[in-house]
């Protein structure tokens, strides 16, 4: 027993520079300083909201430097787009970010419609808005539940999923799926809403408002949550500009930018709603902005359900599955739950699009993390990561 | 000193509010459907997208409406449908559907000119191997019609027949031919 | 400075090769400026000073080269503009990096490096981001010779509102003969990477990208007459 290597199975007790590691940790540890420890946060970790790996260099409990490592969920959606027909790529959009499937559906369908000059009938526009805003509420509920779960509260996530059950049932009535929704078609939507669909929505709205009051009392006004979130994770407007961060992160930094108001698409200019903007750049600002957005989305849905006209849910002579996008280039942005979703399509007029670029808001938002988490405690870095509202499938695509 | 006491009281208040809320919801009814003692109300599954099924024929129910035009197979983004034309007229001799590749997009349902396929509402599908997900839909159609003929026996209620048809259909997929 | 006309003049000053005004209702872009690689950083600095943010960087593979598109928008008012750089040399594609101007560009450039092999000189951390770093594969999004298209033939960039002499991406007239409309872009080695980029069948040695050059010379010899033959035959 002269070889005691069984006491040091993965080489973690070796001198720095001699541990096994992999490509990314070797690359990261090139600039390591004296007295620090390099750890992997993930890729299997309940608080990284997906398969995200973050390499952190810790000095005690303080994060000196960090680097997210991506690609564990890369499914090559952009490459698939070049091999599927334009219509056949629509189901992929529901899988890119499954929590905000309608947002991605809209960005891609509208990008192709913009290029081809297809007009969507009014009833379809209203159905699009209703489904998109309900999807935004359900996405924010998942974010809210998972975020406070990261901070240690185990109950609110189950309450959030309780509300989400109602939303999933409502959306399933009209899209056919509870999560990875393939609802939009070129020229409209896939199916019309029936009487029960609208009745369920009308019953859901006041119930959700009561629940929002309960969430405020239980979580938002809770002293522990406030102390953990206030003053931590500063991301100001200049930082957002340098990284291209959009969505609630930008609005919590004081910039009044929402694609629904800045570049009105669909019929969003017919509704009366506000954009919550906070002037504090910390975690609590981002938390507050998203919770307020749920209320604003409820307002939009209420108005849309009251105003929706009769009509068709899809344009006459709608593109069939073998439809070819006319040659050209088109960029279209929508306001997703996480930020600005853009789809950039270049078409050569052939069976498949020539190049589809999916701009995920999470990709730019996560780039902020390294700078924002410098010098914070590890637990605060986790809270900052949660406040970014990341969904790794859209970052990795 | 005063702020320390005030902090303690604020914390205590948060705790009490939390206990009241969770205490109230502890006794509230659950939304979870305790399967298999209860099932989801079929009314809620009207638009649900389950695995594909062939629709019943107009005059002869067990005869599919499919005309073997291959539009569904061509439009499928996942290449999960295989239709082989038979010898009598336009009827298919083989209609095989690999549910493990299906993304439930609905392109096949929308493009079929004969309205021969539709989504089933089979929510409780359970298989124990990947091969069982390769379904022979012609055999499945015959099974469903045999278990629940809608004509010419109008006194058999459709709803009860539908649930009974779910169990044998899963079995049919196991020993499906071709 | 918030009108497309003002920015068009600003880009002209910064050394643009051409400025096009695509139809915003169809393409979503108000302005598209084609920059030579050397003027890119200066133009980006002007945009940053004007309060514009870099939304994304995307690359596409054409016969003329890689077209790297940078899309900017302002957070205070909406004016979506694109800067484009054409990288003609596919065996050694280099573009200066914007990572010092916009820190978010670092990750977008890494993504283009992964998918197309474009090298952004000056990027502080140019390692694969979405593809595995320790097991490199040839850039998967490069187009094979049977599916690659030509920017000029597609004409999707549109007519330029202002173009310098010899801007090579002007849309080709419909019935052009290659001899008359001398395309300067035809001289460079064709598609430096493997034809139908099938990463599972080819296992390159580590550091495949610098070693693609001798291979590119081999395939260029075979591919060039084939490609020239295709173009002549139209």
**Residue B28 with chain A: CB contacts under 8 Å:** none
pLDDT above 90: residue B173: no
Structural domains in chain B (count)? 1
Domain with residue C198: its CATH number is 3.30.460.80
Mean pLDDT in chain B?
Answer: 82
For C27-60, the pLDDT digits (tens) are 888 889 888 888 899 999 999 998 999 999 999 9
Does residue B19 belong to any structural domain of this protein?
A: no
Per the domain annotation, does B73 fall within a domain?
A: yes
> pLDDT tens, A191-221?
898 899 999 999 999 999 999 999 999 999 9
Q: Which chain A residues are Cβ-neighbours of C51 within 8 angstroms?
A: 241
CATH of residue B140 = 3.30.70.3270
Look up residue A42 and give its two tokens.
């993930």
pLDDT tens string C12-31: 888 888 888 888 888 888 88
Could you give the number of structural domains in chain C?
A: 1
- Which of chain A's residues have a Cβ under 8 Å away from the Cβ of B119? 176
Distance CA B15, CA B12 (A): 5
Question: Do the beta carbons of residue A196 and residue A169 sit within 8 Å?
Answer: no
Cβ contact C126:C226 at 8 Å: no
C204: closest CA of chain A, how far (Å): 17
Nearest CB to A257 within list C56, C75, C149: C75
Best residue of A245, A250, A355, A356 to probe chain C, by most C CBs closer than 10 Å = A355
Contact criterion met (CB < 8 Å) for A367 and C103: yes
Measured CA to CA, the distance from residue A209 to residue A231 in angstroms comes to 28
**Distance from the first to the final alpha carbon of chain B:** 83
Name the architecture of domain A77-396.
Orthogonal Bundle (1.10)
- CB of A354 within 8 Å of a chain C CB? The answer is yes
Domain-embedded: residue B7: no
Least confident piece of the model among A92-96, A157-161, B167-171: B167-171
Q: Give the Cα separation of A10 and A30 in Å (integer).
A: 20
List chain A domain ranges.
5-69, 77-396
According to DSSP, the residues that pair with C3 across neighbouring strands are none
Residue of chain A minimizing CA distance to C62: A354
Cα–Cα distance measured from residue A165 to residue B29, given in angstroms and rounded to the nearest whole number? 14
**B162-B166-B167 Cα angle (round to 5):** 130
Among residues C65, C89, C72, which one has the least CA distance to residue C32?
Answer: C72
Q: What's the token pair of residue C22?
A: 């695509």
Give the pLDDT score at B159. 45
Cβ separation C104–A367 shorter than 8 A: yes
Supply the range of the domain harboring residue B99. Answer: 43-174
Nearest CA in chain A to C114: A71
Sign of CA dihedral A28, A29, A33, A39: positive
Sign of CA dihedral C139, C145, C151, C155: negative
Residue carrying the six token digits 């609005």? A251
Q: What is the pLDDT of residue B163?
A: 44
Helix (H) or strand (E) segment spanning residue A162: helix A156-175
For residues A127 and A133, what is the distance between their CA atoms, to the nearest angstrom?
Answer: 10
Q: Do A355 and C107 touch (CB under 8 A)?
A: no
pLDDT band at B82 (very low <50, low <70, confident <90, very high): very high
| Euclidean distance between CA atoms A51 and A48, whole angstroms | 7
Contact A218 B46 (CB under 8 A): no
Across the interface, whether the CB atoms of C27 and A22 are under 8 A apart is answered: no
Query: What is the predicted ipTM?
Result: 0.89
* Per-residue model confidence (pLDDT) at position C111: 93
Q: Are A67 and A76 in contact (CB under 8 A)?
A: no
Chains that touch B (3 or more CB pairs under 8 A): A
Measuring CA to CA, which residue among C47, C97, C98, C100 is closest to residue C74?
C47
Residue numbers of the domain that contains C226: 4-233
User: What is the chain A residue with the closest CA to C51?
Assistant: A241
Residue A364 near residue A244 (C-beta atoms within 8 A): yes
CB-based touch B/C (3+ pairs, under 8 A): no
Residue B106 in domain: yes
């Amino acid at each position: 027993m002269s070889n005691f290597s069984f006491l040091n199975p993965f080489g973690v007790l070796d001198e720095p520079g001699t541990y096994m590691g992999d490509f990314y940790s070797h690359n990261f540890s090139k600039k390591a300083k004296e007295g620090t420890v390099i750890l992997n946060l993930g890729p299997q970790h309940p608080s990284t909201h997906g398969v995200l790996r973050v390499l952190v260099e810790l000095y005690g409990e303080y994060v000196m430097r960090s680097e997210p490592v991506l690609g564990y969920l890369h499914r090559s959606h952009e490459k698939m787009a070049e091999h599927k027909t334009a219509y056949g790529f629509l189901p992929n959009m529901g899988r890119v970010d499954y929590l905000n499937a309608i947002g991605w559906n809209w960005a891609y369908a509208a990008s192709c419609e913009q290029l081809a000059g297809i007009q969507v009938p009014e009833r379809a526009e209203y159905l699009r808005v209703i489904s998109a805003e309900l999807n935004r509420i359900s996405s924010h509920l998942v974010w809210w539940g998972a975020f406070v779960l990261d901070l240690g509260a185990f109950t609110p996530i189950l309450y959030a999923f309780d509300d989400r059950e109602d939303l999933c049932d409502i959306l399933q009535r009209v899209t056919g799926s509870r999560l990875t929704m393939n609802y939009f078609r070129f020229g409209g939507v896939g199916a019309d809403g029936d009487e029960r669909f609208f009745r369920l929505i009308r019953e859901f709205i006041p119930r959700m408002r009561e629940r929002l009051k309960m969430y405020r009392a239980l979580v938002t006004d809770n002293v522990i949550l406030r102390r953990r979130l206030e003053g931590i994770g500063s991301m100001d407007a200049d930082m957002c500009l340098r990284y291209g961060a959009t969505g609630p992160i930008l609005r919590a930094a004081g910039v009044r930018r929402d694609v629904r108001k800045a570049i009105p698409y669909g019929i969003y200019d017919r509704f009366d709603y506000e954009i919550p903007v906070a002037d504090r750049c910390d975690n609590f600002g981002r938390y507050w902005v998203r919770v307020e957005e749920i209320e604003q989305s409820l307002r939009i849905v209420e108005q849309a359900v009251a105003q929706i006209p009769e009509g068709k849910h899809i344009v006459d002579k709608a593109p069939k599955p073998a439809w070819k996008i006319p040659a050209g280039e088109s960029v279209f942005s929508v306001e997703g739950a996480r930020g600005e979703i853009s789809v950039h399509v270049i078409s050569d007029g052939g069976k498949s699009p020539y190049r589809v670029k999916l701009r995920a808001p999470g990709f730019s938002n996560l780039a902020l993390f390294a700078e924002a988490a410098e010098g914070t405690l590890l637990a605060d870095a986790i809270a900052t990561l949660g406040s970014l509202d990341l969904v790794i499938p859209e970052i990795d695509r | 000193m005063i702020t320390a006491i005030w902090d303690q009281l604020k914390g205590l208040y948060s705790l009490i509010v939390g206990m009241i809320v969770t205490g109230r919801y502890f006794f509230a009814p659950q939304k979870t459907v305790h399967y298999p003692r209860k099932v989801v109300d079929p009314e809620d599954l009207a638009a649900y997208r389950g695995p594909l099924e062939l629709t019943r024929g107009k005059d002869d129910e067990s005869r599919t409406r499919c005309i073997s035009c291959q539009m569904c197979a061509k439009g499928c983004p996942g290449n999960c449908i295989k239709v082989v034309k038979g010898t009598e007229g336009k009827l298919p001799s083989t209609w095989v559907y690999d549910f493990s590749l299906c993304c439930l997009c609905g392109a096949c349902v929308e493009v079929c000119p004969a309205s021969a396929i539709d989504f089933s509402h089979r929510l409780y599908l359970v298989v124990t191997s990947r091969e069982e997900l390769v379904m022979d839909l012609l055999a499945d159609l015959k099974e469903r019609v045999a278990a629940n003929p809608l004509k010419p026996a109008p006194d058999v209620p459709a709803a009860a027949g539908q649930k009974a048809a779910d169990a044998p259909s899963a079995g049919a997929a196991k020993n499906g031919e071709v | 400075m918030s009108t497309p006309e003002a920015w068009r003049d600003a880009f002209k000053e910064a050394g643009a090769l051409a400025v096009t005004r695509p139809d915003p209702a169809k393409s979503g872009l108000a302005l598209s400026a084609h920059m030579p690689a050397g003027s890119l950083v200066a133009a980006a600095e002007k945009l940053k000073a004007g309060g514009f943010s870099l939304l994304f960087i995307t690359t596409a593979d054409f016969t003329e080269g890689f077209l790297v598109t940078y899309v900017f928008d302002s957070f205070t008012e909406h004016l979506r503009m694109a800067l484009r750089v054409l990288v003609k040399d596919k065996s050694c594609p280099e573009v200066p990096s914007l990572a010092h101007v916009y820190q978010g560009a670092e990750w977008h450039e890494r993504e283009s490096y992964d998918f197309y092999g474009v090298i952004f000189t000056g990027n502080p951390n140019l390692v694969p981001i979405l593809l595995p770093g320790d097991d490199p594969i040839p850039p998967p999004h490069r187009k094979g010779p049977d599916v690659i298209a030509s920017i000029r033939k597609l004409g999707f960039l549109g007519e330029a509102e202002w173009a310098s002499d010899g801007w090579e991406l002007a849309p080709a007239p419909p019935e052009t003969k290659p001899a008359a409309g001398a395309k300067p872009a035809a001289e460079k080695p064709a598609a430096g990477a493997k034809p139908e980029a099938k990463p599972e069948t080819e296992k390159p040695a580590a550091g495949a990208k610098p070693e693609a050059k001798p291979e590119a010379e081999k395939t260029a010899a075979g591919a060039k007459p084939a490609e020239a033959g295709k173009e002549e035959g139209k």
